[in-house]
């Protein structure tokens, strides 16, 4: 019996190792369109806008947009999901996967609403979404981001935590200061000396059941919100129902 055990043990570990597939070896795309409804279009410049196909791979640099009463869902190879609501624009700025897998997903949302359900990421993984004001990075959480009509941003966290900083706004101000053209000062008035543009950088961790509101000028406020009242929002309600269909309800 001892000799038999010596042969079985190596075979067992060989079979166990064979089941593990790296991102490079998998036939699955790093990111794909796993659901869409209504007026949804995709565009990889310099190509024109076109209708998506279900389970079609999404590439780095690609744009997605939704019209009235429309939705779209992106699924990553690690099981993370990102959904965009109606009247939204989203660009995939960075996309890659390797190893077990390490995920690199960077998106830009200049307008609209999104819902992200992110699996616990590997150490070197990156999952971030930014708009003209803030960038939100996560490691394993569930949250939504709204770019509101007045250009302010609202982020609500349901699970885990989200790290948010105003880097995009600060960078925009710096670029604006560099591009400011010199102008003539009329009359014999004294010319004021050089001045710095106000660039107050901040970084905040938003935890579960907390909301971060950021104005278009970068002022922010963190507060708690009612999960019960939040479910009255049709967008939130739809996402919760979608999660249940996927077997990932709260």
Tokens of 176: 């604006």
* DSSP sequence for 34-101: EEEESSEEEE-TTSPPB---TT-B--TT-EEEE-TT-EEEEEETTS-EEEE-SS-EEEEEEEEEETTT
Using an 8 Å Cβ cutoff, are 67 and 87 in contact? Answer: yes
Tokens of 144: 């939504």
| Mean per-residue pLDDT of the chain | 84
pTM for this prediction: 0.80
What is the per-residue pLDDT across 55-71, written as a single tens digit (0 to 9) for each?
Answer: 999 999 999 999 999 99
Task: List beta partners, residue 76.
Answer: 31
What is the per-residue pLDDT across 82-112, written as a single tens digit (0 to 9) for each?
Answer: 999 999 999 999 999 998 889 999 999 999 9
- CA-closest candidate to residue 55, choices 39, 74, 83: 74
How far is it between the farthest Cα atoms of the chain?
A: 104
Bond from prior residue into 46 cis (ω within 30 degrees of 0): yes
Tell me which of 2.40.50.140, 3.60.15.10, 2.60.120.1440, 3.30.1330.20 is the CATH number of domain 22-176+201-245.
2.60.120.1440
pLDDT, residue 192, reads 38
With vertex at residue 77, the alpha carbon angle to CA 76 and CA 80, rounded to the nearest 5 degrees, is: 45
CA distance 71 to 162: 23
What is the per-residue pLDDT across 185-240, written as a single tens digit (0 to 9) for each?
Answer: 344 434 333 333 345 889 999 999 999 999 999 999 999 999 999 999 999 999 99
Mean local confidence (pLDDT), 23-35: 83
Where do the structural domains in the chain lie, given as residue ranges? 22-176+201-245
Cβ contacts of 111 within 8 Å, gap of 6 or more:
87, 88, 89, 147
């Amino acid at each position: 019996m001892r000799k038999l055990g010596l042969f079985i043990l190596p075979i067992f570990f060989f079979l166990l190792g064979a089941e593990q597939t790296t991102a490079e070896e998998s036939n699955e795309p790093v990111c794909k369109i796993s659901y869409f409804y209504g007026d949804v279009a995709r565009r990889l410049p310099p190509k024109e806008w076109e209708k998506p196909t279900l389970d079609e791979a999404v590439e780095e640099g690609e744009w997605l947009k939704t019209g009235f009463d429309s939705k779209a869902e992106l699924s990553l190879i690690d099981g993370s999901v990102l959904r965009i609501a109606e009247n939204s624009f989203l660009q995939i700025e960075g996309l890659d996967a390797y190893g077990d897998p390490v995920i690199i997903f960077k998106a830009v949302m200049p307008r609209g609403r999104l819902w992200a359900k992110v699996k616990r990421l590997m150490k070197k993984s990156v999952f971030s979404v930014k708009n003209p004001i803030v960038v939100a990075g996560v490691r394993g959480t569930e949250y939504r981001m709204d770019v509101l009509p007045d250009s302010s941003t609202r982020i609500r966290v349901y699970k885990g935590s989200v790290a948010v900083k105003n880097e995009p706004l600060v960078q925009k101000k710096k670029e604006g200061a560099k591009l400011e053209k010199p102008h003539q000062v009329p009359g014999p008035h004294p010319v004021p000396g050089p001045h710095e543009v106000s660039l107050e950088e901040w970084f905040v961790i938003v935890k579960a059941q907390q909301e971060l509101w950021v104005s278009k000028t970068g002022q922010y406020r963190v507060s708690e919100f009612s999960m019960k009242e939040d479910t009255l929002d049709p967008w939130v309600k739809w996402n919760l129902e979608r999660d249940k269909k996927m077997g990932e309800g709260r």
